[in-house]
C-alpha cells in the first residue's frame, strides 16, 4: 500500500481509517473520496475528491490521477436503510463495487471491501458460524454482500486482482456514528448512557450479535492488506469478530461505570427481523490462521474506553 484511494472516506469506518492510514503511510499517499465534502478531519487533513461511486468514469479517472496502487472501497448502504429502498441499495452497493473493482483492474491495484455478518441468513448455523458455510441471506444488504464476495473472488481468479475482504460484525466507535445499520443500537446505547442515563433499545433482549471495537477493525484491515498473499487460502471474505453479546449484557457492563443506567425496549420489527436472521456468534479461526487476526478489545475493555472518550 503506497498510494491508497478510499471511497466512502467520510463514513463510519472510512473517517477513522483515513486518519490512521495517513499516519502510517503519509498524508499525501491517502486520497479520501466521498459523495460530498464536510468539515471532518478526514476531509480536511489531506487529499480529498468528491466521487460518486456510481459514476464509473469519475472514479477510474480520479484513481488514475493519483496513481493509486490500492483501492479501499467503503461506500455502501447499511442493512436497515437498504431494506427500506432495495432497488437503490442494489444500484449503489453493486454499481459502486463494480466500478471500484474495475478501477482496481485497470490500475493493477490491490483491493479491499468489507463484507458483513449480514452475508449470512436464517439457514446458516447460528453459533460459531464457520468460515465456509451456507450463505442464503434474506435482506438486500446480505444479497449485496454475498454477490460482492463472489464478485471480488471472481476478479482475483479471472483478472488476477489482489482482492481481500472481511466479514465485519457490528462496529462500535465514538468518532463517526453509523447510519442505518441493524447493529447501531450498540453504539447509540453509549451516547444515551452518558447523556440521559437510560436507553430504549429497538433490538430485543436475548438477541445475540457479533461486535468489534473500531481500533480492532482498523488494525484488521491493515493486517489483512499487508499479509503475505501466498498465505491466504480465503480472500473474500474472512469472518472476524471480537465479542458477541445481547442488549442486557452491554447494559450490565455500562452499569459498572454508570450504576443507575437503565435499559428498556421498544422493538422495531424491521430491524429485529434482520438481527434474527444473522448469526449469534461467528468463528474467526481462518482469519487467525491465515494472517494472524487478533482483537484486543472485549466488551469490558471497550465499554471503559467508549465511556471515557465520549465523556470528553
Closest CA to 267 of 258, 276, 280, 255: 276
Give the residue carrying C-alpha cell 442488549: 247
Q: Which one, 47 or 86, has the nearer CB to ligand SER?
A: 86
Q: Which of 29, 33, 79, 239 binds ligand SER (CB under 6 A)?
A: 79
CA distances from 230 to 115, 189, 196, 227, 244 (A): 22, 42, 51, 9, 31
Q: Which of 31, 59, 63, 78 binds ligand SER (CB under 6 A)?
A: 78
Per DSSP, the three-state class of 115 is: strand
Q: Rounded to the nearest whole angstrom, what is the least distance from the CB of residue 40 to ligand SER in the complex?
A: 20
Cα gap 292→285, rounded to integer Å:
9
Cα gap 74→15, rounded to integer Å:
10
Which cell is 134 given? 451456507
Closest CA to 183 of 196, 195, 168: 168
Q: Rounded to the nearest whole angstrom, what is the least distance from the CB of residue 58 to ligand SER in the complex?
A: 27
Q: Which of 181, 207, 218, 220 binds ligand SER (CB under 6 A)?
A: 181
Q: Rounded to the nearest whole angstrom, what is the least distance from the CB of residue 245 to ligand SER in the complex?
A: 14
Decide if residue 183 touches ligand SER (CB under 6 A). yes
Decide if residue 7 touches ligand SER (CB under 6 A). no
Q: Which one, 99 or 116, has the nearer CB to ligand SER?
A: 116
Per DSSP, the three-state class of 207 is: coil
Q: Rounded to the nearest whole angstrom, what is the least distance from the CB of residue 179 to ligand SER in the complex?
A: 10
Torsion region of 180: left, alpha or beta (phi above 0 gives left; psi -120 to 50 gives alpha): left
Decide if residue 142 touches ligand SER (CB under 6 A). no
Query: How many residues interact with ligand SER (rule CB under 6 A)?
Result: 11
Q: Which of 70, 182, 244, 303 binds ligand SER (CB under 6 A)?
A: 182
Q: Rounded to the nearest whole angstrom, what is the least distance from the CB of residue 136 to ligand SER in the complex?
A: 17
Decide if residue 165 touches ligand SER (CB under 6 A). no
Q: Rounded to the nearest whole angstrom, what is the least distance from the CB of residue 214 to ligand SER in the complex?
A: 12
**Number of neighbours of residue 208 by Cβ within 10 angstroms:** 17
Cα gap 42→22, rounded to integer Å:
9
What is the distance of C-alpha 205 from the center of its chain?
24
Closest CA to 93 of 139, 50, 147: 147
Q: Which one, 62 or 115, has the nearer CB to ligand SER?
A: 115
Which cell is 302 given? 471497550
Q: Is 199 a catalytic residue?
A: no
Decide if residue 124 touches ligand SER (CB under 6 A). no
Active-site residue, selected from the candidate residues 141, 174, 185, 297 = 141
Using CB under 6 A, list all residues that contact ligand SER.
78-79, 116-118, 141, 168, 170, 181-183
The catalytic residues are: 141
Amino acid at each position: 500500500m503506497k498510494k491508497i484511494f478510499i471511497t466512502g472516506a467520510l463514513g463510519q469506518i472510512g473517517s477513522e481509517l483515513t486518519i490512521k492510514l495517513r499516519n502510517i503511510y503519509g498524508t499525501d499517499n491517502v486520497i479520501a473520496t466521498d459523495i460530498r465534502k464536510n468539515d471532518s478531519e478526514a476531509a480536511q487533513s489531506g487529499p480529498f475528491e468528491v466521487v460518486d461511486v456510481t459514476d464509473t468514469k469519475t472514479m477510474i479517472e480520479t484513481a488514475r490521477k493519483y496513481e493509486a496502487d490500492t483501492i479501499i472501497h467503503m461506500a455502501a448502504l447499511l442493512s436497515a436503510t437498504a431494506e427500506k429502498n432495495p432497488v437503490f441499495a442494489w444500484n449503489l452497493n453493486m454499481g459502486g463495487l463494480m466500478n471500484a473493482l474495475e478501477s482496481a483492474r485497470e490500475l493493477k491495484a490491490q483491493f479491499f471491501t468489507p463484507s458483513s455478518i449480514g452475508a449470512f441468513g436464517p439457514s446458516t448455523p447460528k453459533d460459531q458460524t464457520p468460515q465456509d458455510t451456507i450463505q442464503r441471506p434474506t435482506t438486500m444488504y446480505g444479497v449485496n454482500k454475498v454477490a460482492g464476495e463472489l464478485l471480488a473472488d471472481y476478479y482475483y481468479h479471472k483478472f488476477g486482482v489482489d482482492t481481500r475482504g472481511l466479514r465485519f460484525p457490528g462496529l462500535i466507535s465514538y468518532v463517526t456514528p453509523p447510519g442505518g445499520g441493524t447493529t447501531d443500537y450498540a453504539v447509540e446505547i453509549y451516547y444515551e448512557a452518558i447523556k440521559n442515563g437510560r436507553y430504549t433499545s429497538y433490538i430485543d433482549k436475548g438477541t445475540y450479535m457479533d461486535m468489534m471495537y473500531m481500533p480492532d477493525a482498523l488494525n484488521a484491515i491493515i493486517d489483512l492488506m499487508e499479509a503475505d498473499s501466498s498465505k491466504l487460502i480465503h480472500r473474500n471474505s474472512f469472518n472476524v469478530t471480537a465479542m458477541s453479546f445481547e442488549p442486557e449484557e452491554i447494559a450490565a457492563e455500562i452499569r459498572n461505570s454508570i450504576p443507575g443506567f437503565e435499559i428498556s425496549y421498544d422493538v422495531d420489527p424491521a430491524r429485529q427481523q434482520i438481527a434474527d436472521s444473522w448469526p449469534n456468534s461467528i468463528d474467526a479461526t481462518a482469519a487467525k490462521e491465515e494472517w494472524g487476526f487478533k482483537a484486543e478489545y472485549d466488551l469490558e475493555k471497550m465499554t471503559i474506553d467508549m465511556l471515557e472518550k465520549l465523556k470528553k
